[in-house]
Amino acid sequence: MSPVQVAVLVMVGIGAVLLVAAASMTVARMARGPSSLDRVVAADVLVAVVIATLAAEAIVNDHTTTLPIMLVLSLLGFAGAVSIARFVAERDKAVRWEDPGTRPKDGAQ
Amino acid sequence: MTGLSVADVLDLLGAFLVLVGCFLCFAAALGLLRFPDVVSRMHAATKPQTLGLIVLAAGVEVSLRSWASFGTLVLVAAFQLATAPVSAHLVGRTVYRTDQVRHELLVRDDLARDLEAAGFRLGPAPEDEQGPDAAEGDDRRLS
Q: What residue of A is the nearest CA neighbor of B49?
A: A48
For residue A48, pLDDT over 60 is answered with yes
Average pLDDT across chain A, whole number: 82
pLDDT at B141: 39
- Higher pLDDT: B44 or A1? It is B44
- Residues with Cβ within 8 Å of B42's Cβ and at least 6 positions away in sequence, in order, are A41, B88, B91, B92, B95
SS3 B48: helix
The answer to whether residues B33 and B75 belong to one domain is yes
The answer to whether residues B18 and B70 belong to one domain is yes
The answer to whether residues B102 and B126 belong to one domain is no
ipTM above 0.85, yes or no: no
First CA to last CA distance, chain A: 79
Distance from CA of B101 to the nearest CA of A (A): 10
The answer to whether residues B79 and B127 belong to one domain is no
Whether B90 and A3 lie within 8 Å, measured CB to CB? no
Distance from CA of A108 to the nearest CA of B (A): 15
Within a domain: B44: yes
Domain boundaries, position B67: 6-107
Amino acid in position A67: L
Within a domain: B46: yes
- Pick out chain B residues at pLDDT < 70: 1-2, 122-143
Within a domain: B1: no
For residue A101, pLDDT over 70 is answered with no
In contact, A61 and A14? CB cutoff 8 Å: no
The answer to whether residues B126 and B80 belong to one domain is no
For residue A94, pLDDT over 60 is answered with no
B91 close to A (CB below 8 A): yes
The answer to whether residues B78 and B11 belong to one domain is yes
Indicate the number of domains in chain B: 2
The answer to whether residues B98 and B130 belong to one domain is no
B50 close to A (CB below 8 A): no
Q: What residue of B is the nearest CA neighbor of A16?
A: B22
Q: Give the pLDDT mean for A68-85.
A: 87
Q: What is the pTM of this model?
A: 0.80
Distance CA B57, CA B76 (A): 8
Angle at B94 between CA A94 and CA A85, to 5 degrees: 115
* Domain extents in chain A: 3-97
For A5-45, write each residue's pLDDT tens digit: 888 889 999 999 999 999 999 999 999 878 888 888 898 89
Nearest to A35 among B49, B119, B133 (CB): B133
The answer to whether residues B20 and B33 belong to one domain is yes
- Higher pLDDT: A89 or B97? It is B97
